[in-house]
Structure 1
Amino acid sequence: MHVREAMSAEVLTVGPDHTLRQAARMMAARGTGSAVVLDPDADGVGIMTERDLLRAIGAGLDPDVERTAAHLTWDVVYAGPDWTLEEAALAMARGGFRHLVVLEGGEVLGVISVRDIMRVWAREKALKTL
């Protein structure tokens, strides 16, 4: 199976000037562990994850003052939609992260998470045992 078949195509996007609290609220409302950060003044896209929020708040920073731009990951590892799930899982394991932004031709198509991959693999395993 390929990334395009398992990814979440409904991507939460936030801007670089959103506060950490705003990003956290949007992520919680959508039930997602990440948000793609689009900055028209920067090259590429960034990603804000639960881990980024946890680090900032755990360091005692004010989530109503701190902006996403200061706490996100800009050196994102991107997945292609035609990658296999194994390739995506390997990239996540090597990089120590749980989300990959899926890009095609510079356009964000979706996000794939460890949870997405596990859901597909568990379903495939269950179908094989029937």
Structure 2
Amino acid sequence: MDAAVGRGNRMTHDERQTIEIACERLIRQFALLNDSHDHAALAALFTEDGSFARPTNPDEPIEGRAAIHAFFRDRPARTTRHLMSNIVVDVTSATQACAHSYVLLITGERGEKMLVGDFHDVFAFDEGAWKFARRRGSLAFAQ
């Protein structure tokens, strides 16, 4: 039984902070794995039924860990740097949390294209670790 459930879903400050740190790390891991083209490890950050929607195509999510892996693996190779900032995690229970973050995407040769966007995330504690249940991007600026 979840410790938080036994206390009526109240968590201690330390429990809440531990979840926030784990989810923030997940967001940064996603960016690093994406930039290093480690598609299997990136897909493993998602729950089995997780979804991912790119900032450039937020209304067409890729559904399921296997489909997410295939999407990243099969797209044309490119040089990217995803810079994540302004990460705010809201813990909703001992097994769920949400976040909002900004993403700055630099891609191509010598800054050929630059995108600035946001991610809205839902996390789930799954298989003993925090994972993305849903990750939806949107664009604020495109150059």
Instruction: Give TM-score scaled by structure 2 length.
Output: 0.25
Higher relative contact order (CA 8 A, sep 6+): 1
Instruction: Give TM-score scaled by structure 1 length.
Output: 0.27
More strand by share: 2
